[in-house]
Amino acid sequence: MKKKKIAIVLFGNYLNDGRVQRTAEALSEKYEVKVFVTTDNIDNYPSFYHGINIRMTPLKTKKLPNHPLVQILKFFEYFIVTLYHINKYNPDIVYCNDVYTLFFGWWFKKKKKKFIYDSHELWKDTMHHYAYNAKLYKVLYWIQKKTIRKTDAVITVNDSIADILTEDHKIVRPLVIMNINKINKFEIKEENIIRKKALIDQSKRIVLYIGGIAPGRGLEYIIESVQYWHDNIVFAILGSGALELELKEISKNNSVEEKVHFLGSVLQNEVLQYAAACDAGIIAYQSSCKNNYYCLPNKFFQYAQMKKPILSSNFPELSKLVNEFNLGATYNPVSANEIATVVNELFSKNFQISIKDHQRFIKTYNWENEGKKLLKLLHSIDN
């Protein structure tokens, strides 16, 4: 029997989006899957990645400046070119990731195709609403409000965001598929990869941040707190972004350059190697927007899966799991003194996640469970 076709649409780089990769691989067990992505870097972009067929759409306008009017032009080119290729593929189901791609689901719904929306963020209130292109994101949220009730199913990343989407849009409660890595075949390829890359002595304990160097992530408060950390504790940042130079200046001003290490970015499939090489993971989101306040990011599960103690902002979704599974400690993310206190206490007490708590956690939160939920949903709307 011929498999039905799913077009997975992503406005971004598939190679750096672990959630979309896991989704595509899970759905490919029962469906023919093709991922439609866009990027401004067409050099050596694969047409297949881990067995998944990829249609990459290079955009000529992506190299233009980030002016609001230019952004409209960029989206227009993206919509026209991507719509052409999806139409040519003729899918049975269109799976849209985030607000940028909702147009395609709406368009093909009119052609009697199934329309699924996976909201990775709480688009009602993200940091984008406070950036230079805030008006664009208000328009995108308006598009979400107009299209979300036309979907056949909505998916999101945690219970808090599912509840908000249900209340705001008067829809059936979205299915929660959490941002959890596959670890059933995980192997450490290089021992002490952080120490080797940053030349960190074996006597030092490493607190690792994974993610973008962007506003609202609380990195400036962590770096300000480093001056109060015990001498044997250092801070490593895995990621890149617009604030990197500013954070290096903060490190210099606080005389902690030797204790703060910028590791740069790596591909999504390499991140777990770094999570496995730290002594504790830190998540320091500020409550700059509701999306941050209700976050439960992939890095949380990466630390926990590697049995690394977690230091996180004292926000609802993060605190719930830290406390339920005894994974570490929470703190006020805008208090450098409080951050320093929890970091020092964690290592002074030599805190470790117990085997029992770790087993409870990974038995409850694993991609095998999430993938089954996803396939069950697809089966229910496809029949």
So what's the pLDDT on residue 192?
A: 92
Q: What is the mean pLDDT of the chain?
A: 92
Contacts for 314-318: CB closer than 8 Å, 24+ residues apart: 315/285, 315/287, 316/160, 317/158, 317/159, 317/160, 318/283
So what's the pLDDT on residue 68?
A: 67
Record the pTM: 0.91
Report, as an integer, the average pLDDT of 75-103: 93
In 3D space, the residue among 238, 305, 245 whose CA is nearest the CA of residue 267 turns out to be 238
CATH class, domain 193-364, is alpha beta
Q: How far is 64 from 31, CA to CA, in rounded Å?
A: 37
For CATH 3.40.50.2000, the residue range(s) in the chain are: 5-180+366-381, 193-364
So what's the pLDDT on residue 42?
A: 61
CATH fold of 5-180+366-381, please? Rossmann fold (3.40.50)
pLDDT of 130 over the 60 cut? no
pLDDT 10s digits, 298-329 = 999 999 999 999 999 999 999 999 999 999 99
pLDDT 10s digits, 208-242 = 999 999 989 999 999 999 999 999 999 999 999 98
Q: How far is 153 from 177, CA to CA, in rounded Å?
A: 12
Report, as an integer, the average pLDDT of 182-195: 83
Distances (CA, A) of 44 to 8, 15, 40, 48, 123: 21, 12, 12, 11, 32
Q: What does the DSSP assignment read for 300-368? A: HHHHHHTT--EEEE--HHHHHHHHHTT-EEEE-TT-HHHHHHHHHHHHHTT----HHHHHHHHHHS-HH
258 CB contacts (<8 Å, ≥6 apart)?
none
Return the percentage of the chain with pLDDT > 70, whole number.
96
Q: Which amino acid is at 261?
A: H
Q: How far is 19 from 268, CA to CA, in rounded Å?
A: 10
Phi, psi of 183 (to 5 degrees): -130, 5
